[in-house]
Amino acid sequence: MKNDSASIRDGILNGDRRIISRAITSVENGNERAYAIRSAIANHLGRAHVIGVTGPPGGGKSTLVSALIRTLRLRGQTVAVIAIDPSSPITGGAVLGDRIRMGSQQADEGVFIRSLASRGHLGGLARSTGDVIDVFDAAGFDTIIVETVGAGQSEVEITKFADTRLVICPPGLGDDIQAIKAGVLEIADAFVVTKADLPDANRTHRELESMLALRSNKSVVPPVLQLIATTGQGIEVLVEWLSSRAQRGTRHCSGGTQSVLKMLSQLISVDQYARLLGLELVTAAPGSATVRMQVIDQHMNFNDRCHGGAIFSLGDTALGLACNSYGTISSLIDGQLSIVSAVEKGEWLLAHAFEVSRTRKIGSYRVDITRMRDNSHVAGMHGTVYFLDKPNPALITPSVK
């Protein structure tokens, strides 16, 4: 297996398409060879710019991806695309459509398009998507685009692997724009109004901007761009904006971020209490973590409001992940929570924990807890943690045979 994995690694690093393809199948199936591949390429990651494209079914994602491929290729970049097919591999509607739309580009050596079927198993899919991104990254693709249908939580799960998240918004979504607002507002780095040749495009653009203006945290306002992917009009502006982000090295400094995300996903997946409360990791970086929770029956107190203990647990989980993001164990020794606003059933809460200061043994962390709906402040938390100089046993990966 050792020589085998060394030759797979060399094949991937040399961009051998057949070996890349086989490696993807292995990591997708999560078989024994997947471990060998993961560890063989672990030191060759963090160079590519990973772009997540999400939005409603039929919204124009694949057409946009196709236009992006063309423009990036003209600029001399290589591009890999991962199209997540939410339907079964048998009906395969989206995959078939994508093959037709992106088909002509598959023959180009600088382009690699791969569909992954979700098979109704989100956790596994999110993990294998991260692994497939790593394979393409190790293979030297400059840009890796992940297309997912924004039909639920899956897009958030999968786009957390991206450095840049584009949320596409075709004209005339009507009330669906509210759904975008609730689900993916927090993750979008930019909104793209697709099909700008259609009559309602300007209205959709205005609605998105007014929705963004409502946010109380305006430190980074995601831009709203308009384009017609079928003709390529507006694509240059998007590509310029994307390349300005890539140059800033989102992923260079976050080669670490990528592995922190993986590590913390692993930690939260074995945290039984987090599972009981329905907590989900949204994003993470060294020293910070963002976790979300939807308030449901089991979180309610006797006044029919979200229990303070549930809010504390959400904040504590985000804080715990943030201070465990260095791979060693640390634990809370003191924590305070102030709740400023009652929370109703059905609301989504987001807890963003970040490091204020750190010495070898002691860290100070803050957590902002907000409503995802309008970014309003719900609670603030402060905690002091103690760092042990011991690797976290939950993070020890199975050995390669």
Binding site for ligand GTP (CB under 6 A): 57-63, 94, 97, 101, 149, 194-195, 197-198, 228-230
Q: Can you read off the two tokens belonging to residue 30?
A: 């999560």
Strand partners, 117: 85
Query: Which residue, 86 or 130, has its beta carbon nearer to ligand GTP?
Result: 86
CB of 176 to Mg ion, least distance (A): 17
Q: Can you read off the two tokens belonging to residue 85?
A: 């097919």
Helix (H, G, I), strand (E, B) or coil at 366: strand
CA atoms within 13 A on the CB side of 229: 25
Query: Which residue, 56 or 130, has its beta carbon nearer to ligand GTP?
Result: 56
CB of 98 to Mg ion, least distance (A): 5
Contact of 146 with 50, CB cutoff 8 Å: yes
The entry of Mg ion, ligand GTP, none that residue 194 binds, CB within 5 to 8 Å by partner kind = ligand GTP
The entry of ligand GTP, Mg ion, none that residue 120 binds, CB within 5 to 8 Å by partner kind = none
CB of 230 to ligand GTP, least distance (A): 4
Query: Which residue, 97 or 124, has its beta carbon nearer to ligand GTP?
Result: 97
Strand partners, 383: 335, 365
What is the DSSP track for 171-219? TT-TTHHHHHHHHHTTT-SEEEE--TTSTTHHHHHHHHHHHHHT-S--S
The entry of Mg ion, ligand GTP, none that residue 255 binds, CB within 5 to 8 Å by partner kind = none
Query: Which residue, 42 or 100, has its beta carbon nearer to Mg ion?
Result: 100
Query: Which residue, 148 or 317, has its beta carbon nearer to ligand GTP?
Result: 148
CB of 275 to ligand GTP, least distance (A): 30
The entry of ligand GTP, Mg ion, none that residue 58 binds, CB within 5 to 8 Å by partner kind = ligand GTP
The entry of ligand GTP, Mg ion, none that residue 228 binds, CB within 5 to 8 Å by partner kind = ligand GTP
Which residues of this protein are in contact with Mg ion, per CB under 5 A?
A: 61-62
CB of 186 to ligand GTP, least distance (A): 21
CB of 197 to ligand GTP, least distance (A): 5
CB of 94 to Mg ion, least distance (A): 5
Q: Can you read off the two tokens belonging to residue 20?
A: 């890349």
Query: Which residue, 62 or 257, has its beta carbon nearer to ligand GTP?
Result: 62
Phi and psi at residue 273, in whole multiples of 5°?
-70, -40
The entry of ligand GTP, Mg ion, none that residue 133 binds, CB within 5 to 8 Å by partner kind = none
Amino acid present at 206: R
CB of 35 to ligand GTP, least distance (A): 32
The entry of Mg ion, ligand GTP, none that residue 63 binds, CB within 5 to 8 Å by partner kind = ligand GTP
Which ranges constitute the DSSP H helices of 30-92? 32-41, 61-74
> Which residue number places its CB atom closest to Mg ion?
62
Helix (H, G, I), strand (E, B) or coil at 119: coil
Query: Which residue, 45 or 198, has its beta carbon nearer to ligand GTP?
Result: 198
Contact of 400 with 384, CB cutoff 8 Å: no
Q: Can you read off the two tokens belonging to residue 350?
A: 């987001």
Between CA 332 and CA 384 the distance in angstroms is: 6
With tokens 């089991």, the residue in question is 298
The entry of Mg ion, ligand GTP, none that residue 149 binds, CB within 5 to 8 Å by partner kind = ligand GTP
CB of 132 to ligand GTP, least distance (A): 18
Contact of 252 with 142, CB cutoff 8 Å: no
The entry of ligand GTP, Mg ion, none that residue 229 binds, CB within 5 to 8 Å by partner kind = ligand GTP
Query: Which residue, 149 or 267, has its beta carbon nearer to ligand GTP?
Result: 149
Between CA 161 and CA 131 the distance in angstroms is: 10
Reduce the secondary structure of 24-39 to three states and give it as a string: HHHHHHCCHHHHHHHH
Query: Which residue, 154 or 259, has its beta carbon nearer to ligand GTP?
Result: 154
43 to 2, 90, 138, 256: CA distances (angstroms): 16, 36, 9, 11
